[in-house]
Amino acid sequence: MDAATIDVAGIGNAIVDVISHADEALLASEGFAKGSMTLIDAARADALYARIGPAIESSGGSAGNTMAGIASLGGNGAYIGKVRDDLLGGVFRHDITAIGIRFETPPATEGPGTARCIVMVTKDGHRTMGTYLGACVGLGPEDVDPAIIAAAQITYLEGYLFDPPSAKAAFRKAAAIAHQAGRQVALSLSDSFCVGRYRDEFRELVMKDIDILFANEAEICSLYETDDFDQAAQAVRGHVSIAALTRSEAGSVILAAGAAHRIAPAPVARVVDTTGAGDLYASGALFGLTRGLPLPTCGAIGSLAAAEIISHVGARPEARLDQLVASAGLV
Amino acid sequence: MDAATIDVAGIGNAIVDVISHADEALLASEGFAKGSMTLIDAARADALYARIGPAIESSGGSAGNTMAGIASLGGNGAYIGKVRDDLLGGVFRHDITAIGIRFETPPATEGPGTARCIVMVTKDGHRTMGTYLGACVGLGPEDVDPAIIAAAQITYLEGYLFDPPSAKAAFRKAAAIAHQAGRQVALSLSDSFCVGRYRDEFRELVMKDIDILFANEAEICSLYETDDFDQAAQAVRGHVSIAALTRSEAGSVILAAGAAHRIAPAPVARVVDTTGAGDLYASGALFGLTRGLPLPTCGAIGSLAAAEIISHVGARPEARLDQLVASAGLV
């Protein structure tokens, strides 16, 4: 096979985040489980927007955030996702291309507008999300450019892609092309409720098609229907080459052939907004893997990128991650 | 006269900020003077947007920021400004009303879109701005509701209103109504280049129509065409009842009948983005004045609000300013 010319190709729901501070009472009255992502329709998105406080808008989307992190680390990436040809779509496109990610998926010229996610950040820094998928439902297999996937060392897929029906087909097409080209396929489980919605499919995928798995404690436990992290971690071994399991303040564990590496979290002066913590951990770990770094170093870069993202509002890096990594002596 | 039912009525250019990190080379190649605001047309705004890095969108506008600060401090405010009936206009309206400010100016239904300001933040935390005024040019005297101005203890005007031609007429109408109702009129000089564009008019205004003046060092020096701050401070005395002059890290000075109060800056762990520092200083000082607090306390609240705003990206408060003020024992 040819040498990869792209480090990571990410496929995800292309979303602009609308981020506000909220109190727990609002979450309760809207029936949102704290820390989760709930799908909402356009009317509910409008009604929810009218209820939240002042907000800022920032490009988001799980894989979009991860790819922005890859670029900030100095990696070479491409993104596939669907926006509309509207103002928010222009914002999403600007932000991901301006950081250096190739993004050539054509925007939808009709139908629902660019997706938005209303992110409600509670005082403890945790985020709860209501997502209107909008134009994301238009993503399909035709949007997966085989040349990009075949050229990428790792194709990274977000679990949220199982929500819009035809994106799942795009997901499977990309995984097949990647493997045919001798590349690796990574998956993030995204959200424990998302895992609950597609548990059987995810389990089969993880077993058959995924080389590198990212999940937090709740997600991996949901996948294997257990309350016990160690049991879940045990269950995933053997199904994937690498499983990177994140545990918030407790850091992360990277499981690989016969080894389990415990990774300490990077220090954070104050947790402001946890949005994007998992996405940026994935950026760091994937970047490290594409550079052939040892797994503990991959995890440490992930921890550092996650620490940067939770120290401010928004899920895209404010600091240059390559400089942070160099300062920390990790590369 | 009746008791005021509104603490502060603010009139300004209703703008959404597009905030990105930039290096000095970009400013130089675009010909922007660091720290200033340059007016740009729609085509240049698009071209500049294509050059800047990833950005976040946050409601802005000098008086809009000040009013958001007033609300966050627990004050009762109204805002007058012109947006279009487009997505960014909806964002501006949401953000200012969600924080509790009354905003009833009807949006333009045709013509240019909602104004946007491309804010370029350099490594030192300083900001340089390119503003496309868009729908702001539609603000006119007909938008000034006499009932609101007459009911407001202080009417606050931003100097930037002199840029769009008919806003100046709105400005003068509001000042006249306020004085007729026995209220006070405050002005922020906004920007030293803005002062340069309208120096004679501003000098006359300050002499005849302004009770409370806000200016930073560069602005007050530009108004009186001197390089000497003390000389400029001397010149403004007697023209206004209160002059609040801000000097960045050196704090501020409030000049009033026979007295000069030096106000220390509030501590900031790290200056991230100075956008809004002057606007929020004005929030604090105006809030204090409407509560009848001593001038040094008004200034201290201003310093505290400014310190909050420069500790993060964006010119709208992230923290509850009323709580910060209470914690600091200022009220």
Cβ of residue B59 closer than 8 Å to a chain A Cβ: yes
- DSSP letters, B98-157, are HTT-EE-PPPBSSSS--EEEEEEE-TTS-EEEEEE-GGGGG--GGG--HHHHHHEEEEEE
Q: What is the DSSP letter of B198?
A: T
The strand pair at A184-188 and A212-216 is best described as: parallel
- CB A318 to CB B314 under 8 A? no
- CB A318 to CB B316 under 8 A? no
Q: Which residues of chain B make contact with A53, given a CB cutoff of 8 A?
A: 98-99
> Which among B57, B87, B95 is the nearest to A54, CB-wise?
B95
pLDDT of residue B2: 80
Q: Is A25 part of any domain? A: no
Residue B116: strand pairing partners: B16, B132
- CB A98 to CB B53 under 8 A? yes
Residue A58: strand pairing partners: A17, B56
A160: closest CA among A122, A114, A129? A129
Q: Identify the three-state secondary structure at position A268.
A: coil
Cβ of residue B86 closer than 8 Å to a chain A Cβ: yes
Chosen for mutation from A16, A20, A51, A57 (greatest number of chain B CBs closer than 10 Å) is A57
- DSSP letters, A122-140, are -TTS-EEEEEE-GGGGG--
pLDDT of residue B331: 85
- Residue A167's contacts (CB-CB under 8 Å, 6 or more residues apart) are A11, A13, A136, A137, A139, A140, A161
Cβ of residue B91 closer than 8 Å to a chain A Cβ: yes
Q: Give me the residue label for tokens 């808008």.
A: A57
How does pLDDT run across B57-110, given as a tens digit for each residue?
A: 999 999 999 999 999 999 999 999 999 999 999 999 999 999 999 999 999 999
> Which among B55, B96, B316 is the nearest to A95, CB-wise?
B55
> Which among A53, A94, A318 is the nearest to B49, CB-wise?
A94
| CA–CA distance, A178 with A160 (Å, rounded to integer) | 19
Residue A245, min C-alpha distance to chain B (Å): 29
Domain range enclosing A194: 6-14+61-103+137-327
Report, as an integer, the average pLDDT of B101-128: 97
Q: What is the DSSP letter of A292?
A: T
> Which among A54, A58, A99 is the nearest to B68, CB-wise?
A54
- CB A56 to CB B94 under 8 A? no
Q: Is B124 part of any domain? A: no
How does pLDDT run across A84-117, given as a tens digit for each residue?
A: 999 999 999 999 999 999 999 999 999 999 999 9
Over 90: is that where the pLDDT of B258 sits?
Answer: no
Report, as an integer, the average pLDDT of A47-58: 97
Instruction: Look at chain A and report how many structural domains it folds into.
Output: 1
pLDDT of residue A1: 65
Over 90: is that where the pLDDT of B37 sits?
Answer: yes
- CB A99 to CB B313 under 8 A? no
Cβ of residue B271 closer than 8 Å to a chain A Cβ: no
| Residues 9-38 (B) with a CB less than 8 A from some CB of A | 20-21
Over 70: is that where the pLDDT of A198 sits?
Answer: yes
A69: closest chain B residue by CA: B54
Report, as an integer, the average pLDDT of B6-13: 98
- CB A55 to CB B314 under 8 A? no
Q: Which residues of chain A make contact with B118, given a CB cutoff of 8 A?
A: none
Q: What is the CATH number of the domain that holds B192?
A: 3.40.1190.20
| CA–CA distance, B7 with B285 (Å, rounded to integer) | 12
pLDDT of residue A230: 96
Query: Do residues A8 and A153 make contact, with C-beta atoms less than 8 angstroms apart?
Result: yes
Cβ of residue B257 closer than 8 Å to a chain A Cβ: no
Cβ of residue A58 closer than 8 Å to a chain B Cβ: yes
Q: Is A43 part of any domain? A: no
| CA–CA distance, B192 with B173 (Å, rounded to integer) | 24
Q: Is A168 part of any domain? A: yes
Over 70: is that where the pLDDT of B1 sits?
Answer: no
B60: closest CA among B18, B105, B101? B18
H helix or E strand, kind and range, residue B39 = strand B37-39
Under 8 Å CB pairs connecting chains A and B tally to 64
Report, as an integer, the average pLDDT of A179-202: 96
- Exposed, middle or buried, A204 (CB in 10 Å: 0-12/13-18/19+)? exposed
Q: Is B155 part of any domain? A: yes
Report, as an integer, the average pLDDT of A20-38: 95
Q: Is B151 part of any domain? A: yes
| Residues 145-164 (B) with a CB less than 8 A from some CB of A | none
Residue B286, min C-alpha distance to chain A (Å): 21
Over 90: is that where the pLDDT of B187 sits?
Answer: yes
pLDDT of residue B275: 95
pLDDT of residue B204: 95
Q: Is B164 part of any domain? A: yes
Percent of chain B with pLDDT over 70: 100
Position B99, amino acid: I
- Exposed, middle or buried, B71 (CB in 10 Å: 0-12/13-18/19+)? buried
User: pLDDT band at A80, cuts 50/70/90?
Assistant: very high
pLDDT of residue A264: 97
Over 90: is that where the pLDDT of A296 sits?
Answer: yes
A53: closest chain B residue by CA: B98
Q: Is B195 part of any domain? A: yes
Q: Rounded to 10 degrees, what is the CA torsion of B221, B226, B227, B233?
A: -50
Side-chain-side CA neighbours of residue B208 (13 Å): 9
Query: Do residues A161 and A205 make contact, with C-beta atoms less than 8 angstroms apart?
Result: no
How does pLDDT run across A114-138, given as a tens digit for each residue?
A: 999 999 999 999 999 999 999 999 9
Average pLDDT, chain B: 96
Q: How far is CA B113 from CA A86, B89, B132, in A?
A: 13, 8, 10
Chosen for mutation from B57, B58, B275 (greatest number of chain A CBs closer than 10 Å) is B57
Residue A95, min C-alpha distance to chain B (Å): 4
Average pLDDT, chain A: 96
> Which among B56, B59, B94 is the nearest to A314, CB-wise?
B56
Residue A10: strand pairing partners: A79, A156
B86: closest chain A residue by CA: A87
Q: Which residues of chain A make contact with B91, given a CB cutoff of 8 A?
A: 55, 57
How does pLDDT run across B211-253, given as a tens digit for each residue?
A: 999 999 999 999 999 999 999 999 999 899 999 999 999 999 9
